[in-house]
Amino acid sequence: MIHEIRVPVAPWHSNSGPDPAVAFLPLVSSQHKAPRVTITNEDAFNMSVRKFLKQVGITGQREIEAAVRQSIANGNLAGNEKLRATAIITVGKTNLNVTVEDEIRLE
């Protein structure tokens, strides 16, 4: 059973809204607004964050799918449930600690 996923979540860019099966978080949370400070190389920072979020998305999806399939095979899930998913976003040497929750529908 999936209890908690400790990974950041990518931003959503669509007029149709987010896929209800996946949790998304904007890049700047209203809980953590900080004054705008110039980073030495904004492009490098942005690309590094995007690369990390892409890796998280790929790895997270793969792990969720494998865990759900295994739980169905073990008889722990019937395959038609709605599962609560939680992502806890933290960044070392910062005070960022954001929890995002959503539902993953199997049917």
pLDDT digits (tens, 9 = 90+) for 93-105: 999 998 889 999 9
* Chain centre distance of CA 91: 13
CA atoms of 21 and 25, how far apart (whole Å): 13
CA atoms of 21 and 38, how far apart (whole Å): 36
Residue 91 lies in a domain: yes
Residue 32 lies in a domain: no
pLDDT digits 0-9 by tens, 27-65: 445 555 667 888 999 999 999 999 988 998 899 999 999
Residue 31 lies in a domain: no
The model carries a pTM of: 0.64
CA atoms of 17 and 38, how far apart (whole Å): 31
Owning domain of residue 19: 1-26+43-107
| Mean model confidence pLDDT for the chain | 78
Count of the separate structural domains present in the chain:
1
CA angle at 32 for the pair 27 and 33, rounded to the nearest 5°: 85
Highest mean pLDDT among 12-21, 29-38, 76-85, 89-98: 76-85
